[in-house]
Amino acid sequence: MRTGRMDLARNVAAEFAEWAEHSTLPWARAHHFRCLALVAEDDEEAHRFFALAGEAAACDNRPFELARIALLRGEALRRDRRRAEARTPLRLAVELFDGQGARRWAEIARSQLRGAGGLGAAPRDDRAVSAVLTPQELQVAKLAAGGLSNKEIGALLFLSPRTVGYHLYKLFPKLGISTRSQLRSVDLDDVTDVDPDAEAL
């Protein structure tokens, strides 16, 4: 794809898609969507596949894969001259790569972020957590901070594990964190006790 041989890239992506659809490996779904995003002919279709890839990687708790997807999505948005939109995934990529000690990858993401008009990772929002997150994101954050898995959280809130992963993917940058374990350091005292029945209603 990067050398301009898009026909070959699409053939490879199609072959991988056929394999991924029958695979039970947890990383296959995220890779599948990432490939579709890279070879998509329509920009909006590409960004939709990037979102699905990020959701799948977050659901499977694969921060490095999530960082790669965020970097690619940010690069694509920059190419589309959507610099303001590119900053959010690029900041996430920087934070995730830094958090895993992937220095070279973090440098690449940071360079892309500077090119999008950002100077570094997003600053932590000083507002109360309840003012930053949606009610459902608050519930997911509190349960995840308590050590519950995506599957356990989903059972309590009547959500699929994939949806729980997507909420985590969305709330991490809002809280200025990059890993699940960092939720324990976030002050969630202003979050009321979780009431799954009320949320389901």
Give residues with Cβ within 8 angstroms of 148, minimum separation 6.
156
187 in a domain, yes or no?
Answer: yes
134 in a domain, yes or no?
Answer: yes
- Counted residue by residue, the chain has a size of 201
CATH number at residue 178: 1.10.10.10
Q: Are residues 36 and 107 in the same domain?
A: yes
111 in a domain, yes or no?
Answer: yes
Residue 42's region, left for phi above 0, alpha for psi from -120 to 50, else beta, is: beta
121 in a domain, yes or no?
Answer: no
Q: Are residues 43 and 98 in the same domain?
A: yes
Q: Are residues 137 and 111 in the same domain?
A: no
Give pLDDT tens digits for 103-153: 888 888 988 888 888 764 444 445 566 677 888 888 898 888 888 888 999
122 in a domain, yes or no?
Answer: no
154 in a domain, yes or no?
Answer: yes
Q: What is the pLDDT of residue 199?
A: 40
Give pLDDT tens digits for 18-36: 887 787 776 787 888 888 8
Q: Are residues 108 and 17 in the same domain?
A: yes
Domain total of the chain: 2
Give pLDDT tens digits for 32-73: 888 888 888 888 888 888 888 877 777 767 788 888 888 988
Placement of tokens 């209603």 in the chain: 201
Predicted structure pTM score:
0.56
Host H or E run for residue 50: helix 43-59
